[in-house]
Amino acid sequence: MNLTVYLGLLHKSEQTLADSFRQVAQGHGDEPDIHFLCQTLARQCDAHQQKLKPVIERYGEDTADAEPERLHAEGLAQTRSGPVGLLRDLQDLYLLASLVDITWTMIKQAGQALRDQELLDVVGQCDGQTAIQLKWLQTRMKQAAPQALLAAR
């Protein structure tokens, strides 16, 4: 069953997203909303991984290169500075969160076909939060973009 490939992908991308939220929180301490919220959202990603555990225990996860990554989403190793740097960092988070979001969707599809209520419950507890993470990133970027792109020194 290839679901294990996607469980591995989801687990890893939630982990990457958590790390990247923490990286941005740390690198943009002068933007308090970003600093604090990214920490909160990182904790959400941690919790998602916890919730996935029983599912992974049942199905296993394939972290070997059964389906090697072609598009690398390795997370933010470091943050940028300045208004445009902030925008780029948030945009990187957006890409990472999008990967998580669509992966949850695929897992949900599989869960429905498997008639696995436990798996669907886990999805139900997590995918809404991921969707809101994306919405928040979009909300924040849309506010910041004109100033960063037109007025910032």
Partner 1 sequence: MVDRISDIWGTRTPYGRGGLWPVRVDQKLADGVREEDVDRWVQSACVLCSNGCACDIAVKDGAMVGIRGRAGDLVNHGRLGPKGLFASWQGVSHKDRLTRPLMRENGRLVECDWETAMGRIVEKSKNLLEDRGPLSHGFYTSGQLFLEEYYALAVIGKAGIGTPHMDGNTRLCTATAAAAMKESFGADGQPGAYEDIDSCDAIFLYGHNMAETQTVLWSRVLDRIAGPDRPKVVCVDPRETEVARHADVHLAVRPGTNLALMNGLVREVLRNGWLEEEYIREHTLGLENLRSVVEPWTPEAVAEVCGVDAGDVREAARIFGTADHVLSTVLQGFYQSSQATASSCQVNNLHLLRGMLGRPGCGILQMNGQPTAQNNRECGADGDLPGFRNWENQEHVKELARLWNVDPLVIPHWAPPTHAMQIFRYAEQGSIEFLWISATNPAVSMPQLPRIREILAKPELFVVVQDLYLTETATLADVVLPAAAWGEKTGTFTNVNRTVHISDKAVDPPGEARSDLDIFLDYSYRMGFRTLDGGPLLTWDGPEDAFEAWKKCSKDRPCDYTGISYARLRGGSGIPWPCNDENPDGTVRLYGDGVFPTDPDFCESYGHDLLTGATVGPESFRAMAPSGRAIFKTAEYSPPHEEPDENYPFRYTTGRTAYHFHTRTKTARSRPLQAAAPKAWVELSAEDAQSLGISEGDLIRVTSRRGRLEVPARVGDIRPGTVFAPFHYGYWDTGGSPGSHPTAANELTITEWDPVSKQPVFKNAAVRVERIAAGTGPAPAPTTTASRPAVATVPPTRGGEEAEVEERLEDEAPPRFPEAINTAAGGDWQ
Chain residues that interact with partner 1, rule: CB under 8 A: 30-33, 36-37, 39-41, 82-83, 132-133, 135-136, 138-139, 142-143, 146-147, 150-153
Burial class (CB in 10 A: 0-12, 13-18, 19+), 98: middle
Nearer to partner 1, 70 or 153 (CB): 153
Query: CB of residue 137 vs partner 1: minimum separation in angstroms?
Result: 8
DSSP string, 83-136: HHHHHHHHHHHHHHHHHHHHHHHHHHHHHHHHT-HHHHHHHHHHHHHHHHHHHH
Query: CB of residue 92 vs partner 1: minimum separation in angstroms?
Result: 18
Nearer to partner 1, 117 or 139 (CB): 139
Query: CB of residue 109 vs partner 1: minimum separation in angstroms?
Result: 21
